[in-house]
Chains A and B, each alone.
Chain A
Amino acid sequence: MSPISIFVTSVLAQNIILTKFLGICPFIGASNKEKNAFHMGLSVMLVITLSSIITYVIYHFVLVPTNTTYLRTTMFVLVIASMVQLMELFLKKYLPGIHKTMGLYLPLIATNCAVLGVTLLNINNDFNFLQMLAFSVGSSLGYLLIIYIFATIRERLETSDISKSFDGIPIALLTAAIMSLVFVRYL
């Protein structure tokens, strides 16, 4: 597959949230405001892209030559956690406002399964470097896109008249379900 087609499929048809169900927790938790969702999506994008590159290099130049590929999950988790920590340090210093509004969800990116998922899929699919880059940027862009759309829908829902038993999270989950149906082309 060419990198371009990988990119397009990973953004839309194979969207990481709506078709692979990875990274759902911040998808629901950090999408109550349009701005929060955008920051969350951007941070996830940064972490996914950086850790994909680093884990790819580590896997192919350290683990494969030394026959220690069984270590990959541990290694990748370590790299991802450090990337998140690094980003937190930078945000705290240069963008303290964003650091504050994101709160707990920022360190929680370390356990966002979308990140580990993309890094492991890169390896399982036997991508070369360009394909890997296309896949990680594409998936994370898909993440940003979906969480942003979802947040705008949720903001709109806040001003509408919803029956009490559906207000808040239930209607958000239903929205996510319908979006997911759209993306797997049942609608």
Chain B
Amino acid sequence: MIGIFILTALAFVLSFVLVVVDARLNKVDGRLREIESLLPGYNCGSCGFSWCRAMSEEILKNKDIYIKCRPLRGKAKKEMEDYLGIEEVK
């Protein structure tokens, strides 16, 4: 019976350490999430990258590239431009 407690406790401690370290080390840039949410999310690949997340990483490096996402039109496009424009002022 006590074995169950010990094993569970150890597993808990170890997974806790792993989760904390992972969260510390692999901090994702917050802007990446935001840009990704502004993209259409079709993962169609017509921008030349395999999926929208790859595209948002590229936008982070060079924001003019957002034009390449063809499904991004109209209001969504405007929102993206606003977002990227605001960044420019910063």
Contact = CB atoms under 8 A, between A and B. Distances in A.
A93 interface: yes
B86 interface: no
Nearest to A85: B18
A75 B18 contact: no
A82 B25 contact: no
B25 A75 contact: no
Interface string A33-64: 00000000000000000000000001000110
Nearest to A82: B14
Contact of A58 (B3, B10, B11, B17): B10
Contacts of B62: none
B25 to A, nearest CB: 4
B14 A79 contact: yes
A75 B2 contact: no
A125 interface: no
A78 B2 contact: no
A74 B3 CA distance: 11
B89 interface: no
Given A89-B25, A89-B26, A93-B26, A71 B14 contact: no
For chain B, which range describes its interface: under 10, 10 to 19, 20 to 34, or 35 or more residues? 10 to 19
B17 A82 contact: yes
Contacts of B10: 58, 62, 75, 78-79
A62 B5 CA distance: 11
Contacts of A62: 6, 10
Nearest to B9: A62
Nearest to A62: B6
25 contacts: A62-B6, A63-B6, A66-B2, A66-B6, A67-B2, A68-B2, A68-B3, A71-B3, A71-B6, A74-B7, A78-B10, A78-B11, A78-B14, A79-B10, A82-B14, A82-B17, A82-B18, A85-B18, A86-B18, A89-B18, A89-B21, A89-B26, A90-B25, A92-B26, A93-B25
Interface of A: 58, 62-63, 66-68, 70-71, 74-75, 78-79, 82, 85-86, 89-90, 92-93
Given A58-B10, A71-B7, A90-B25, 8 more contacts: A66-B6, A67-B2, A68-B3, A68-B6, A71-B6, A82-B17, A86-B17, A90-B21
